[in-house]
A and B are shown apart, each in its own frame.
Chain A
Amino acid sequence: MTAILLGIAITVAQITLGLALACAAFRFVRGPRAQDRILGLDAFYVNAMLLLLTFGIQTSRTVYFEAALVISLLGFVGTVALAKFLMRGEVIE
């Protein structure tokens, strides 16, 4: 009984996180300016990492945790590099 309830809760959480991914992807695709796109990308990788953690709970494997850790490490570097590029690129123009 509790296993079925937990399965339903995990599936609902995955659907909710998928909707959040769609919202972030909307801002990423339709952002009026470059900083909006970078903000959408930042929210996108955080939501994708949370979705990977729920897959890890669902299948009870630890592989997904390592993938989530790598995403959270590299996403930070990517966002900071893009923000730096926004400042320097404007100087060259």
Chain B
Amino acid sequence: MAATYDYAIVGNSAAAINACEAIRGVDREGSIILFGEEKYRCYSRPLISYLVAGQIESRGMYYRPSGFYRSMGVEFRKGTRVEEVHAARKTLTTDGKEKVKWRRLLLATGFKPFIPPVPGLEEIDYLTFVSWDDARRMLARTARPARVLIVGAGLIGMKAAEAARARGAAVTVVEKMERVLPQALDAEASRMVWERCREAGIDIVTGQGVAELESRGNGKGRAVLEDGGEMDFDLLVMAVGVRPRVELAEGAGLDCSRGIEVDGHQRTSLEGVYAAGDAVNAMDVVLGRPSINALWPVAALQGKYAGLNMAGKEVPYPGCNSMNAVEFFGLPVLSAGIVNPPDDGYEVISRRSDAGDYRKVVLRGEVLVGMLVAGRIERAGILTSLIQERANVRRVKNFLLEEAFGHIHLPRSVRQERITETAAGIMKAEAARDKGV
């Protein structure tokens, strides 16, 4: 006889953990079981680059204190993969053939690295850079001086590059596009990061793909680039991109061609089945349509709202936007919303200060839809919140690029409401407005 749980959670990262906490905020009694595929209790995936670079120790990796699952009253199945979900019978089966019945299920299955079919790749013991085990492998394989080749200059690739460089490795990054971090950053910030990386000794080759790979054993090999250039490496890191992990959702009968689809309450089309996190196509308030923003803070927020709704508290997910906080070799860069306008229907205002700080805002009509700050980043969250609120910024437009831009520039009534109300009030007001639309 399979045990029945009020809540079953597949996944053990940002979305899953925030869902647990949200459920417990509403329902102290209901039974919760949580399945984590890896052999770790919940850790913070984005911190693997800090670990490899020696900026934190292993104990700094954990997202919650050691007694977390017990204190939450959660039955934690560590190192257990859920292989099948049967939505009609409300059961799931694990790789250990354990069968569990559930009343409500959360799919927080996250992402998986996308590995392009490069000839010769399957012969090479390459790394991805998305898990604690990946970090351990990189630590082991950069213990001695190594030549590291990283394919892809997105966030994962560039963080891998920085970490490997901190280990003393000779690092080369190869990127198909013409610049680093082409999605997260605009051309100017991208150039600033490139400059920092170059100064730190990282070699970056853009506008180039790897055409062919040749193994020399022990993970070593030679890469042939599209222009015929050749490069020897001791360690290859594939960081071309990520894809939502949807096998389980698909197996349960969900259409996942663009990630797991959810409604405004993180519900899938299957009764009792919710989804949150990097596998989910959820509302992006800036784009005005669902989008996959595979980002830690977005996953955490979705998990929180999934949990609240699973526990019976009907609250709509407020939506999020594409936002990034990154730092490379001491240069912090924050961005939110649209930083690379797709057409000329946008107004872009930017400024580079004498000190080298960079600040840019993107408007659509009179609405703030994007921002990017590099260098002095303090108070940029005010811009993020205006983007998130789809605020009309006509009256403050001239101040947006000021480093001192703040509530003082907002109309008094808006300012007082923002300051005396808590952010909860803002979110409530927004949720109510969304409902009315």
A joins B in a complex: no
B contacts, CB < 8 Å to A: none
A contacts, CB < 8 Å to B: none
